[in-house]
Each structure stands twice: as structure tokens, then as C-alpha cells.
A = this chain, B = another copy of it.
Amino acid sequence: MAFTPRTPRVVAARRLQRRRDRDATGRFLAEGPQAVREALARPEVVTELFGTPTALDRYAELAAAAARADVPVSEVTDEGLAALAETVAPQGLVAVCRHLDVPLEQALAGAPRLVAVLAEIRDPGNAGTVLRTADAAGAGAVVFAGEAVDPYNGKCVRASAGSLFHVDVVRAADPLETVEALRTAGLTVLATTGYGDSDLDDLADSGRLAEPTAWLFGSEAHGLPQELAAAADARVRVPLHGRAESLNLAAAAAVCLYASARAQR
């Protein structure tokens, strides 16, 4: 019989919509077929899959993949699914996943040539979008540093469009220590700021972007903390050719990360 919103396992999984319960259990929710597919591609990540009968039928290959990985698959009613999902038009599947962040040292041991650091970024949609863009640009690691949003926040997971499962995600309490560790690992650390003294185009012309690089991005509202910008090897501004006062975070990150990707080809 399909689980309802009152079935204890649905009640328990639903609690993962709250950060407190995610932190306490080391679990989070991934919603929709795309995220579930990406999660199932990583062994040991998924602990449970919920789906409506319709969705489990429509995405039978995902249900089969879960079964092969010994992941319990449970049918839920439409109401049970609605209780687990945070979007208004859920596509019938929600997976319970284990946290998958790794220590910074482990991510750096892979010698990534491109790293994105989200410093004190509190907006989950912005953070997830930058994570997705960093993945597309070929970044090996994305660091959530300082008082950044929880990478397992539902909105962040959805905005990442599966990229949360593709790159090494790191949670680092201290942004300054992160900068030191990145530099020690041989990465050039570049701070993105509207008031930077280096123009991105000039930096690209200089050939310096071909080096292994870590980009620091601050929140849209407050920018990078000053001491963090000061600790970087350079403070870089994206040129503003028109009359806009600034770019939004996702656009600025896309321009910077793709400038690196192009230089590093």
C-alpha cells in the first residue's frame, strides 16, 4: 500500500526540509527525475527513493537502478509525494540522499585546475546556480565557505540541476583559511569584486588565467568581505561596457569561470 503523508517514513523524510534535521542526520532530499538520476549515478549516496505509482512507472529505469543498488523504493500517494516535495509541480520522485561533501584537503588532492568559492553567499538559488555554472565550466570543486547557505537546502539542490552530484562539494567554516589552503595547493586565488584593480579582459590577455585558479564570489547584496578580497592574489572586476552598475552574481560568475575555462583549454 502506498505511503501517505502520515506514514512514519514519509514524516521522517519530510523533516529533511529543515536544516536542523539535515545537519542532525547527514541526509537531504533530491527532488525530480533529473536529480534522482544524478544521485543514483553515485554509489552510496541514495538511501531511499519515494515515488508515486505513475512516476515509478514512467521512470522505471530509475526505480530499477535504485533496486539494483539495494536502495529501498517506496510507493507514495500523490498527497505523500506533495508532502515530501517543495515545488508546486513535483514530477513524482523524491530521493533521500547522504551528505556528500568532502574535506577541502581531499578535493585539493585531486589537483583541480578550476575551483569556485562561494563566500558567505546566503541565497540558495544563487549558490545552486553558481554550482551548476562551475560544473559546466569544468570546475573540480565548489567550496561553500563561511556563513554560506547549506548546500543541501532544497532550493540550492534544485538550482544546481544535478551538479551537486558532479563536483567535489566542500563546506569550509573559515574563508581565510580556505584561501591559504588553495594557495598552498598551487592555485592562483582571484577575488571577484566590482571595485577590483584588475580587469578580467586584461588578465585574460596576460595569459595568467591559464594557471590553476580559484575564484572567490561574494553575496549579491554585500559582495566579498574586504579582508577576504585583500587575501586574494588579485581583485578582478568584470568590465562594464554599458551603463549597468553591476552584474548579478550568476552572470558575473559565469563570465569569470568561462574566461578561465577558455584560457585553460
The interface size bin for chain A is 35 or more
**Which residues 193-252 of A have a CB within 8 angstroms of B?**
201, 204, 238-248, 250-252
Contact of A258 with B245 in the complex, beta carbons under 8 Å: no
Contact of A166 with B244 in the complex, beta carbons under 8 Å: yes
In the complex, identify which listed stretch (A3-11, A25-33, A129-137, A184-192) lies at the interface while the others stay far away: A129-137
Contact of B133 with A241 in the complex, beta carbons under 8 Å: no
Chain B residues with CB under 8 A of A204: 262
Contact of B129 with A244 in the complex, beta carbons under 8 Å: no
Interface string of A156-189 (1 = CB under 8 A from B): 0001011100110000000000000000000000
Nearest to A138 among chain B residues (CB) is B241
Chain B residues with CB under 8 A of A242: 134-139, 163, 166-167
**Which residues 102-152 of A have a CB within 8 angstroms of B?**
129, 132-139
Does A255 reach chain B (CB closer than 8 Å)?
A: yes
Chain B residues with CB under 8 A of A248: 129, 132-133, 159, 161, 250
For the complex formed, measure the closest distance between the CB of A244 and the CB atoms of chain B, giving whole angstroms.
4
Knowing A161-B244, A162-B245, A163-B243, the reply to whether A133 touches B201 (Cβ < 8 A) is no
Taking A134-B242, A136-B251 as given, write out 11 further A-B residue pairs in contact, using a Cβ cutoff of 8 Å, ordered by the A residue number: A129-B248, A129-B250, A129-B251, A132-B247, A133-B251, A136-B238, A137-B242, A161-B248, A238-B258, A247-B254, A255-B255
8 pairs, CB–CB < 8 Å, chain A vs chain B: A135-B242, A136-B240, A136-B241, A138-B242, A166-B243, A166-B244, A201-B265, A258-B258
